[in-house]
A and B are shown apart, each in its own frame.
Chain A
Amino acid sequence: MRFGVIQFPGSCDERDALAAASRVGDAVLLWHRDHDLQGVDAVIVPGGFSYGDYLRAGALARFSPIMVEVERFARHGGLVLGICNGFQVLCEAGLLSGALLPNTSLRFVCRQVLLDVVNPATSWTRACERGDRLSIPAKHQTGRYWAPEPVLDELEANGQVVLRYATGNGFNGSARDIAGVSNHAGNVVGLMPHPEHAVDPLTGSADGLALFESAALVAA
């Protein structure tokens, strides 16, 4: 299993994602200007503030040369995980439905949250069971998931709502407490909380490993 983690200027969490992925497979950094995915089995679009989040979070990174390859890869069934800023980038790129808006508090919030696994059938959650509760930190100012009501209904009907903030754990005002969604095929997943920061009990929790292990199961 070989993961590739994209590095944009302004990425913050790419090294942590690399380290987390390395616990279940090989992992390499992919440079945003390259057109080469180096034959990886899964792509992680990491957290941070790509291009300073200028204009709008994720709006500029979406036009990086490597994103052309990521979109092609995703449309051919390749595994793609967007974390936080990466989720924003995937929404901007149209690989996932919806958008991330500023938190209702308009403040940045960093907090350990509990997530309920809603759909354990996606490529990034199949090491989980439905109803599993994961303790994973979230940290963002622009993480309020939003989509038109009909789209939300459709996402729910299709099982594309993958992760939800457990009752009382949502702090950003996301529609229907949605923390993570997938595309229709389930190979592309985006979430606001940071599984790469939850891979060692020493630093708070190891529950985030399940996402990386899920991808490894797919490849195997």
Chain B
Amino acid sequence: MLHYILRRLFLMVPTLIGMTLVLFAVVRFAPGLTTGGGAFGAGGQMRNQQARAAAEQAVKKRLHLVDAQGHDIWLPMQYIYWLNDTLHGDFGESVQYNLPVATLLKERIPVTLSINLVVAFIVYLLAIPGGMLASVKRGKSFDLFWGFGTLALFSLPIMWVGSMEIGFLANPQYLDWFPAAGIHSTNTMWMTFAQYVKDYLWHIVLPISCLSYGGLAFISKLKRAAMLDNLGQDYVRTARAKGLSELTIVTRHVFRNSLLPMITIFAGLIPGLLGGAVVTETMFSIKGMGELMLTAVFSRDLPIIQAEAFIGSVISLICLLITDICYALADPRVSYD
């Protein structure tokens, strides 16, 4: 088993390298990399031509576009230097906050990841039974309405849902059930742990509902399809011929087999949630990865943008690795060596 994990890690290296290459290239060839206002710290406010040129050179040195003497560095070496910096956690300094990007990320990643994990948990908890039920009642009115409903849910734009929720559920003008911003109230310092947890949960109800409905719709559709697919398989016929009741067949045989696509989809769920997090965090003023990414775009804070893209991809790859391992555990047909 350890051998399997090591092998998967090993196979992930080319993907990681490819990903870093893509990110490097995308950023490196962006127009106005070193000169544009606020780009990588060139600070385009300087009026003096000389000062601006000097600042630009400083940026170029920091980005390893030129070496200490001012000569241009060969492109592949630029990549190596960049990769070296990144792997050491040196993502540069943010122009907005004047802090190292790594510090900012350290604050923000746990916020986003914790919310995303809760969402993933809820999604699986609700989607799997929903999909199972729909597959068992296939063709009947429950299934038809359910199919329509999930497709509708899936099509709802997340920002609209968020707007409506905040506008109607978090607004003193209408129903003021939930808070509209942040994940903690301002007086958390005087709370007991239980109150703190309750406060946290009260705050994240709306953001979580925003993030989870899409995944819920998608995964329960997938579960239903997987169940139906398995219900048509020959081994179900054998199970019936053995004398098993429909209930046992569905809950033991079919369920077990239909879990496999559920595992595979996890690899795509968290990265998808990261995207959704950008919108949700912005709307609910939650200081997470997504909100940082967006503000970085407006201030053209390229170090943050690059770092976020990189971290996001790394998280993605980690999820992929976890998925592979879980799948190997679940499906005996996958060999360990």
- Tell whether A and B belong to one assembly: no
A-side interface residues toward B, CB under 8 Å? none
